[in-house]
Amino acid sequence: MRQYRFFIEEGSLNEAEPGSILALHDPDLAHQLSKVLRLQAGDQVTLLDNSGRACHCIIESLPQRASLQRKQAGAKPVRKQVEGANRAGQPEPLRFRIASVKDDCKAEGRLAEKTDLSRPKVLILLPVIKPARFEWALEKLTEVGVDIVQPTICNRSVHQDFNKADNESKFLRWHSIIKEAAEQCERNRLPILRPIKKMTQAIKDESESNSLDQLLLLHLSERSNAPDMVTALSALCNSKTCKSATLVVALGPEGGLDSSEVALLEMSGFSPVSLGQNILRAETAAIVAIATAAQTLTKMSKY
């Protein structure tokens, strides 16, 4: 039987120990457990707080109210980690008994899980394309192992102008998509989602915030004789200390990057890389590139 996994407020599991009770005031999670999944007391779930810690839990009790007040999008759930009376005006808390705790950091002294923390982080400069395709790319990039997503506006992007309200609305939706994908594919940490930036600004920010020795810089180049991803990564990792580095992959939207953006990338130290002779959609190219890079770096980090 499948065991459901849910991300909760960061830090909620800091003091979690087997046998302890965790009480959460989280209307969205309560709704999902009781109304959508129809789970009951005694059912088992896994809770994560984005620290790398995963707690295998048994549901002790669910709110009994017929209708659950769900929180507004983006609002943090209120948590309470000790048993006690309900707060005035709040639904009854969700109660879980913690059965076991796993960490992805061996230094914590608990059972370590298999992770890819030893490989370089993987960051993608992902162009904002048509909404459905962009959201699908976010979901699949999460599944294949991206660590950081930097949405970018390129010179050939269809959507060029986003006001603050647009950005906040999109960010909340995109974060929700990433969270659900991470729960489904059994990741213990969420990829970092950054605010939208112009491609030129994102390139400059990456170059200025990190030493070039700590960056592996690649941009996708179609219709070229550029090396493939595996060859390019092998060459870069032979010349740098890979495990502490960050791989940055840049690509363009529909129509690709224009000549000024390519020139800026190469001037900033990005090397061209090819995904083959076929011309791929932007979202397909992003997923193929990150899946290949993550797998290659994981294998290389073992030697």
Average pLDDT score over residue span 151-164: 80
Identify the residue with better confidence: 147 or 225: 147
Identify the residue with better confidence: 68 or 26: 26
> Which of 85, 112, 139 is the last residue before a domain boundary?
112
Q: Which residues pair with 48 in a beta bridge?
A: 7, 54
Scanning 88-213, the segments in alpha helix (DSSP H) are: 131-144, 164-184, 199-209
Average pLDDT score over residue span 41-63: 93
The predicted model scores a pTM of 0.83
Alpha-carbon gap, residue 172 to 178, rounded angstroms: 10
User: What are the pLDDT digits (tens) for 249-294?
Assistant: 999 998 889 999 999 999 999 999 999 888 899 999 999 999 999 9
The pLDDT score that the predictor gives to residue 90 is 59
What CATH number is associated with residue 60? 2.40.240.20
Alpha-carbon gap, residue 167 to 197, rounded angstroms: 10
Under 8 Å CB-to-CB from 283, ≥6 apart: which residues? Answer: 129, 133, 134, 136, 137, 140
Domain co-membership, 98 together with 170? no
The pLDDT score that the predictor gives to residue 80 is 41
> Which residue range forms the structural domain that includes residue 90?
4-112
Total of domains in the chain: 2
Assigned token pair, 119: 């490989």
Identify the residue with better confidence: 73 or 31: 31
User: What are the pLDDT digits (tens) for 98-137?
Assistant: 999 998 754 333 333 444 567 889 999 999 999 999 999 9
The pLDDT score that the predictor gives to residue 48 is 95
Name which of 165, 179, 168 is nearest 135 in CA terms.
Answer: 179
Instruction: Point out the least confidently predicted range of 77-86, 195-204, 237-246.
Output: 77-86
What CATH number is associated with residue 291? 3.40.1280.10
Beta strands 78-80 and 121-127 are: unpaired
> Which of 86, 112, 138 is the last residue before a domain boundary?
112
Of the pLDDT bands very low, low, confident and very high (cuts 50, 70, 90), residue 167 is confident
Instruction: Point out the least confidently predicted range of 47-56, 99-108, 199-208, 241-250.
Output: 99-108
